[in-house]
Amino acid sequence: MAKQEYPRPQFVRKEWLCLNGTWEFSFDDDNLAAAQHWERDSHRLDRTIEVPFCFESRLSGIQDPSVHDHIFYKRKFRVPDDWRGRRILLHFGAVDYQCRVFVNEMLCAEHTGGSTGFDVDITDCLREGEQSLAVAVCDPAHDETIPRGKQFWEDESAGIWYTRTSGIWQTVWLEPVSEAHISHVKFTPDIDRDMVVLEAEISDWKPDTCLEAEIRFQEELICRDRYLLNNKKVFRRDIHLSEDHIFYNCSAHGRSRCWSPENPALYDVTLRLYCGGQLTDEADSYFGMRKIHTQNGITYLNNSPYYFKLVLDQGYWPDGILTAPSDEDFITDIRLMKEMGFNGCRKHQKVEDPRFLYHADRMGFLVWGEMAAACLFTDGGVATYAKEWFEIIKRDYNHPCIVAWVPFNESWSVPNIAVDRRQQEQSLGMYHLLKCLDPTRLVISNDGWEMTKSDICAIHNYGHGSSSEPEKQAFFARTLKDRQLLLSSVSSGKSLYAQGFSYQGEPILITECGGISYCSDRPECWGYTKAQSEEDYLKQYAHVIDSILSSDLVYGFCYTQLSDVEQETNGLLTYDRKPKCDPARIREINSMFRHNTVTG
Q: Cβ distance 393 to 434 under 8 Å?
A: yes
Domain containing 389 equals 292-469+482-513+556-567
Same domain, 226 and 165: no
Residue 523 pLDDT: 66
CA distance 528 to 464: 9
| Res 397: pLDDT | 98
Q: Of 237, 266, 287, which one is at a domain's C-terminal end?
A: 287
Break the chain down into helix, strand, coil percent, rounded to 5: 20, 35, 45
- C-alpha distances out from residue 494 to 101, 312, 450, Å: 44, 21, 7
pLDDT tens string 286-344? 999 999 999 999 999 999 999 999 999 999 999 999 999 999 999 999 999 999 999 99
- 209-217 and 220-228 beta bridge pairing: antiparallel
Contact between 358 and 10 (Cβ < 8 Å): yes
251 and 123 both lie in a single domain: no
pLDDT attached to residue 158 = 87
| Residue 526 lies inside a defined structural domain of this protein | no
Cα-based distances in Å from 20 to 24, 51, 272: 12, 5, 29
pLDDT, position 243:
63
Whether residue 117 contacts residue 199, with contact meaning beta carbons closer than 8 Å, is answered with no
Considering the domain architecture, whether residues 444 and 506 belong to the same structural domain is answered as: yes
Q: What CATH number should be reported for the domain holding residue 124?
A: 2.60.120.260
* Residue 600: predicted pLDDT: 56
CATH number at residue 251: 2.60.40.10
Which residues are CB-neighbours of 582 under 8 A, at least 6 positions away? none
Q: Are residues 76 and 132 in the same domain?
A: yes
What CATH number corresponds to the domain at position 312?
3.20.20.80
Among 162, 177, 192, residue at a domain's last position: 177
Domain-embedded: residue 172:
yes
Q: Answer yes or no: do 113 and 144 share one domain.
A: yes
Same domain for 259 and 307, yes or no, is no
- Regarding whether 383 and 339 lie in a shared domain, the answer is yes
pTM: 0.95
8 A C-beta contact, residue 238 and residue 195:
yes
CA dist 363 → 130, 263, 344 (Å)? 41, 9, 11
Helix or strand or coil: residue 47?
strand
Q: Residues 167, 216: one domain?
A: no
Number of domains composing the chain: 3
Q: Give, in degrees to the nearest 5, the angle at Cα 343 between 341 and 347.
A: 115
The last residue of one of the domains, among 177, 203, 225, is 177
Q: Are residues 203 and 338 in the same domain?
A: no
Residues 351 and 234 in one domain: no
Dihedral pair phi/psi, residue 363, rounded to 5° = -90, -15
Please indicate, yes or no, whether residues 491 and 411 belong to a single structural domain of this protein: yes
Residue 114 CB partners (closer than 8 Å, separation 6+):
94, 95, 96, 97, 139, 147, 165, 169, 372
Q: Are residues 350 and 499 in the same domain?
A: yes
How far apart CA 165 and CA 94 sit, in angstroms, is 11
Is 544 contained in some domain? Answer: no
* 124 within a domain of the structure (yes/no): yes
Residues (pLDDT < 50) of the chain are 244-254, 595-597
Query: Tell me, what's the pLDDT at 235?
Result: 87
